[in-house]
Every structure is written in structure tokens, then in C-alpha cells.
Structure 1
Amino acid sequence: MNNPNTIQDYLEQVAPERQEAFHQLYETIKNNLPEGFEERFIYNNIGFVVPKSIFPAGYHCSPELPLPFINIASQKSHIALYHMGIYMQPAVYDWFVNEYPNHSKRKLDMGKSCIRFKKTDDIPFDLIAELMQKISVNDYIALYQSTLKK
């Protein structure tokens, strides 16, 4: 990537062999997020955030920034989907881990909030669409605030 500054720049710079899958992942997320989240170019990749108009406190690590929820990135060896809700809500995490084998023949490659797709031909877009609908903006804010209090 040559220092993209916008979502469009980022989308245009995704490696040709990943273009179709990355665009489909982007559209799947964008079209299935509950109302209230906003799309932003943030952290040098494509993000979906809780805007400051809804949650003025912003992200506790960088209060000048909106609260991050989901990011997608084309990394060196994979496409990454970062989902903070899956990291903070065990029920959603458990649902996703248990459901994944029903939607993909590949082994789940996942960290705390990062789902990695090394092969683009088997991204479970239908499962990702369902995942996007699991947490509303208000539920995410409440979850975030309760996590900070711990």
C-alpha cells in the first residue's frame, strides 16, 4: 500500500488477487451493520465506528477518535477482520467459533479480535453478514463501558 488516505484509495490499492474478495467483504460488512455505526478511514485501514455524535467520549486510548468497532485490512499474508464486539462478548465469540465450521471448509484462524483469511476463496460471507447483525450500537456502547469499569 502506498499510504492510502481514504477508503477509496485503500480499496484501489488492495492486491489484484484479493480485490474481489476484499470488496465483497467490505460490502458485506457495510450492508449488514446495524444503524448508527459509521464508516471511516481510521488506523490506516477501513473501519466502522461509533461516531462521536452518539458516543462523545470516544475511544479511551485516544479520546479524540471515535469508538472503533470493526476494521478490515489487507495484510501481507491475509485479509484481516477485526471485530471488537467478538472480543468483548463471549456469547458472540462462542457463537461464531461454533458456527464457523458450518460455513467454511478451512480451519478458523483467529486471535482475540482478529479473524484472518489467508485464502480468499473460502471467506464465509454469509456468516460474516450474520456476525455484523449480532451487536447494535447501543449494546456495543454498554458492553464497552462495562468492560472499562472492570
Structure 2
Amino acid sequence: MVSSAAATVSEYLEELPAERRAVISKVRALVRKHMPKGYVEAMGWGMIFWSIPLKRYPDTYNGKPLGYVALAAQKNNYTIYLMGPAISDKQDAALRGAYKRAGKKLDMGKCCLHFRKFEDLHVEAVAEAIASFPVELYLEHYEKTRPPKPGKKAA
């Protein structure tokens, strides 16, 4: 299941086979436990999605809530999308270093961390990656990646 048409997280979980639901539920609990205040959980892009609501930050490049973390059951694995390491070299190095020190295999692109079972995750490193970007800090990093608005000079 690469993308879901479920309107709610509950619907998404219900449509998963029991074994896959158990893994997604466990990772979801980890994410929720370490998610800084200000992010909201909903369905987005066919997966469980934590974002900054448009009410808080409407100036996104696509008019949709600014995503921070997402979680999905894919066809052959699970994926947790972590935007912190994608926009912070320091956080990326910390996550990669933690996996290396633990002797765990890291299957990660720029932000997508793939795993086949919950035990493949380095729980502490993932928790730290999630917890380390309060909304204000994330917005600060995000805004540095945006082109300057007309009439304003880049910082």
C-alpha cells in the first residue's frame, strides 16, 4: 500500500492487515510521544502526516500544511519521513551516526527512512530526530530554504 485514500488516521489503520497495523501503530505511538507541541496529526499525501497547520503558517510553497513527519506502510516495507534530517546537516549526521554506532543498517534517502520491522528502527535516534525540531526552529530552517520574497534581500 503506497498511498491510501483514507480520510482519517483511524480509517487508514483499519484498512491495514493486522500485522502491518501493529507495526504502524507502534511507530505512530513513538512519533506521538516525541512530537513537539504545535504539530498536528492527520492524513496527508495518503499517509499519516504530522504538520504545521495552515492557520499557524499559511505561507507554504503549495498551499498545504507544512509537513514535518509522515508514516506509511509501503508495498514491501514501512517508511517514516523525517524532514529534520532533510533540512539540517547536523541532525542528519546525528541520525546516521547513531545507526552506525548501534551497528544497525540504515536505509535512508534524504528524508525517507525505510524499515521492514519495528526492530530495524533505532528507536532512540528516531525519537531524538523527531523531538529536536520545535515548530519555531523548524520554521526558521524551512524559511532559509525558500527563495526571497519580491522586494526583500536574502538573509
Please give the TM-score of this superposition, normalised by the length of structure 1. 0.88
Instruction: Write the mapping of 1:40-55 to structure 2, written as runs, cut at 5 A.
Output: 40-55=42-57
User: What's the counterpart of residue 81 of structure 1?
Assistant: 80
Q: Distance in 1 between matches of 2:140 and 2:134?
A: 10
Tell me what 1:135 maps to. Answer: 133
Q: Runs ≥4 in structure 1, deviation > 3 angstroms?
A: none
Q: Does the Cα contact within 8 Å between 2:6 and 2:43 map onto a contact in 1?
A: no
Structure 1: runs of 5+ lacking an equivalent: none
Partner of 2:21: 19
DSSP-derived class of the 2:114 partner: strand
Distance 2:52 2:27 in 1: 20
Cα shift readout 1:78-119 (whole Å, capped 9, x = no counterpart): 11011112101100000000012344x531000011000023
Worse overlay, 127-136 or 1-10: 1-10
Judging changes above 3 Å, is the alpha-carbon distance between structure 1 residues 22 and 102 closer, same or farther for their aligned structure 2 residues? farther
SS at match of 1:106: coil
CA distance in 1, matches of 2:105, 2:129: 18
Q: Counterparts of 2:17 and 2:104 in 1: how far apart (Å)?
A: 22
Task: Tell me how far 1:40 sits from its aligned partner.
Answer: 1.3
| Bigger radius of gyration | 2
Indicate the percent of aligned positions where both proteins have the same amino acid.
26
Change (3 A) 1:73 1:29: same
Aligned 1:34-73 pairs, distance under 5 A:
34-57=36-59, 59-60=60-61, 62-63=62-63, 65-73=64-72
Whole-angstrom CA distance in 2 between matches of 1:126 and 1:107: 15
Aligned equivalents of 1:16 and 1:121: distance in 2? Answer: 17
- Residues 98/26 of structure 1: CA separation in 2 closer, same or farther (3 Å cut): same
**Runs of 5+ in structure 2 lacking a partner?**
149-155
Question: Given residue 99 of structure 2, which amino acid in structure 1 is its aligned partner?
Answer: Y
Cα pair 1:72 1:82 within 8 Å, conserved: yes
Q: Distance in 2 between matches of 1:14 and 1:132?
A: 24
Question: For 2:101 and 2:21, how far apart are their aligned partners in 1?
Answer: 25
Aligned length: 146
TM-score (norm: length of structure 2): 0.86
Instruction: Give, in angstroms, the shift of residue 131 of structure 1.
Output: 1.5
Superposition deviation, residue 11 in structure 1: 1.3
Contact 1:21-1:121 at 8 Å conserved across structures:
no
